[in-house]
Structures are given as C-alpha cells and as structure tokens.
Amino acid sequence: AQKVTQAQTEISVVEKEDVTLDCVYETRDTTYYLFWYKQPPSGELVFLIRRNSFDEQNEISGRYSWNFQKSTSSFNFTITASQVVDSAVYFCALSQWGAQKLVFGQGTRLTINP
C-alpha cells in the first residue's frame, strides 16, 4: 500500500525566512512519481513539481527547491526567502508508475507573516 505523511500540520514563519516542508512516503513500487501541489485560498490545487523515482537530482526553481532522497523515502520542499504570497496549504503526493491516481499527504498549512 502507498502512504504519504506530512508530519507538519501547520507552520508559521516571518517573511524572508527560509522554510522546509517535510514529506515522507511509503511504497513497495520501485518506480513511482512524487508531486507537490499548492492550495491557495482560492481552493484549487496548483501543480508545482513532479519527480521520477529514478531521478534523485535535487531541483531548484526560483525560490523553491526540492530534495528527493530515496534512502530516507523523503521528498522535502524548501522555500527560500519566503513571501506572504507563499501562504497556502501544500500537499505532497505519490503515484504508481503507469497509474495516475494520486495518494496525498494530509497537507501542511504554511503562513508567512509580514
């Protein structure tokens, strides 16, 4: 069975601080995909990133970076120099290779205070 755990229910930081959102997953599959989604107050889930299980390179996109470590089954997300607009609920998710249904974590509510 697949499972995604986001242990941090809520995080609150002051603007310009760096913040890391943790994601730990469980799967018996050797090939799979990992995702991060952002849910702003408007409600829709916004796709941020997808990683293949065989590609452990870290990825950076502007102030966002992702650290994928198979050895610890983790796919953590870091926001550098956080901004108020980063305030949202962030979801980590997993899918099997060849299947498209997403298994989500519980989400982390991130609040960036000015």
Partner 1 sequence: EAGVTQFPSHSVIEKGQTVTLRCDPISGHDNLYWYRRVMGKEIKFLLHFVKESKQDESGMPNNRFLAERTGGTYSTLKVQPAELEDSGVYFCASSQVGVSSYEQYFGPGTRLTVT
CA separation, residue 26 to residues 2, 49, 58, 86, 110 (Å): 5, 19, 20, 27, 24
Two structure tokens written together for 9: 């229910």
Window 44 to 103, contacts with partner 1 (CB under 8 A) = 44-47, 50, 91, 95, 99-103
CA separation, residue 101 to residues 7, 15, 75, 94 (Å): 22, 35, 18, 8
104 binds partner 1 (CB under 8 A): yes
> Of the two residues 30 and 100, which places its CB atom closer to partner 1 in the complex?
100
> Of the two residues 3 and 16, which places its CB atom closer to partner 1 in the complex?
3
Please give the residue ranges that form the binding site for partner 1 (CB under 8 A): 4, 33, 37, 42-47, 50, 91, 95, 99-107
